[in-house]
């Protein structure tokens, strides 16, 4: 039977893979990144680079903005493909296993379980998160507010897996390394079936704290 370590949010934040989130948090507070995140929130993606440049302040030079977007891609804050931003953490333009529904039925997709949990605190409004158990495939659906997950989250757990290559970009592995599980029993069963997987588990409440730490307030007055 494989060993399963359950960590708190503070313990998870102390892990090396999360240290980079400190610098990324600072990058996401840049006006250019906030513009991209706000556009993903309101319109979805992908977002053409021409749109980002046109929506930027009139005194911003197009060449400088293009260079800044390239740098943000290299720093793994956004992903640019075919002249469009198709990922701006926590958002993904293409459907993923992590759907987040805003009021009025507006759906957005997140890059992983933590990103899904971080959207409510990022935008300052309640959302509904829909995913599935990474072990049994059963559908999971629960609410989250800017301050906590809903009681309907019940026994949900999150697995924080270690990427095989810490030098790779996050989007290369987030879909498979940070996932929801129906319960601790299901997480343990998956862990037993995957003894070589490196990482740790957390309750959904502790995982929410990590999401809040990464994204909280970025698109609200709190983050300005």
Which pLDDT tens digit goes with each residue over 4-46?
Answer: 999 999 999 887 655 666 677 788 889 999 999 999 999 999 9
Q: What is the pLDDT of residues 107-152, one digit of tens each?
A: 999 999 999 999 999 999 999 999 999 999 999 999 999 999 999 9
Give the Cα separation of 38 and 204 in Å (integer).
26
Q: Label residue 172 by pLDDT band (50, 70, 90).
A: low
Instruction: State yes or no: pLDDT of 52 exceeds 60.
Output: yes
Coil, strand, or helix at residue 224?
coil
Q: 10: which 2 tokens? A: 């503070």
Strands ordered across the beta sheet of 157-161 = 178-181, 157-161, 199-203
Structure tokens at 212: 């809040």
Cα 223 to Cα 132: distance, rounded to the nearest angstrom: 31
- The C-alpha atoms of residue 133 and residue 167 are separated, in whole angstroms, by 28
- According to the model, what pLDDT value does residue 224 have? 47
Q: Which pLDDT value is given to residue 102?
A: 94
- On average, the pLDDT of the chain sits at 90
Q: Is 13 exposed, middle or buried (0-12, 13-18, 19+ CB in 10 A)?
A: middle
Reported pTM: 0.91
Going through the chain in order, the beta strands assigned E by DSSP cover: 47-48, 78-81, 84-88, 91-92, 99-101, 107-110, 127-132, 139-144, 157-161, 178-181, 199-203
């Amino acid at each position: 039977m494989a060993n399963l370590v359950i960590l708190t949010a503070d313990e998870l934040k102390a892990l090396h893979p999360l240290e980079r989130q400190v610098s990324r948090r600072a990058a996401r507070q840049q006006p250019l990144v906030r513009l991209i995140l706000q556009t993903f929130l309101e319109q979805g993606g992908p977002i053409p680079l021409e749109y980002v440049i046109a929506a930027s302040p009139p005194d911003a030079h197009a060449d400088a903005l293009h260079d800044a977007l390239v740098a943000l891609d290299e720093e793994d804050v956004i992903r640019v493909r075919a002249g469009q931003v198709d990922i701006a953490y926590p958002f993904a333009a293409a459907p993923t296993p992590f759907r987040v529904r805003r009021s009025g039925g507006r759906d957005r997709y997140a890059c992983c379980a933590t990103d899904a949990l971080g959207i409510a605190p990022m935008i300052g409004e309640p959302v509904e998160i829909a995913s599935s158990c990474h072990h049994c495939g059963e559908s999971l659906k629960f609410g989250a507010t800017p301050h906590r997950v809903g009681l309907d989250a019940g026994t949900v757990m999150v697995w924080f897996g270690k990427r095989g290559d810490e030098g790779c970009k996050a989007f290369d592995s987030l879909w498979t390394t940070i996932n929801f599980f129906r319960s601790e029993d299901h997480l343990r069963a998956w862990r037993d079936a995957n003894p070589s997987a490196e990482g740790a588990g957390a309750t959904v409440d502790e995982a929410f704290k990590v999401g809040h730490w990464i994204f909280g307030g970025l698109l609200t007055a709190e983050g300005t």
